[in-house]
Amino acid sequence: MDIFDTIKDQIASNTILLYMKGSPNAPQCGFSARASQAVMACGERFAYVDILQNPEIRANLPKYANWPTFPQLWVNGELIGGSDIIIELFDKGELQKIIKDAAGKTDA
């Protein structure tokens, strides 16, 4: 399986997926910390991939997503955005709805 297939499979297999530096409980950069805190504050389970432990994903996900930076939040197979967008959506109350709706689909 090539790296693009791996990325595609991760996104397809996880309704809510955060590509980040570190883990939600031990983020390795400020942007990943803020993004993971916002997603955790939505109160739903989500998957994450530590790109620092996966250098091939770190190198190729920006090409796959056409998005140059990390973190990246994917919900229902769609790229939501990076840290600034995640925080903006959270502050508006929109991220909570996106996450809850996606989690509801998972539970059904």
Global pTM exceeds 0.75 = yes
For 79-89, what is each residue's pLDDT tens digit?
A: 999 999 999 99
Full residue range of the structural domain in which residue 45 is found: 3-107
AA letter at 35: A
- Tokens in use for 2? 């090539």
**How many domains are contained in the chain?**
1
Using CB atoms within 10 Å of the CB of residue 42, give its burial: 0 to 12 exposed, 13 to 18 middle, 19+ buried: middle
The mean per-residue pLDDT over the stretch 46-50 comes to 98
- The predicted structure's pLDDT at residue 107: 52
13-36: pLDDT as tens digits: 999 999 999 999 999 999 999 999
Dist CA 74 CA 20 (whole Å) = 11
pLDDT score, position 106: 54
Angle 59-94-45 from CA coordinates, rounded to 5°: 60
**Could you give the strand order of the β-sheet that contains 72-75, starting from the edge strand earlier in sequence?**
47-50, 16-20, 72-75, 78-81
Contact 89, 98 (CB under 8 A): yes
pLDDT in tens, 54-106: 999 999 999 999 999 999 999 999 999 999 999 999 999 999 999 999 999 65
- Whichever domain contains 47, its CATH number is 3.40.30.10
Structure tokens at 18: 């955060």
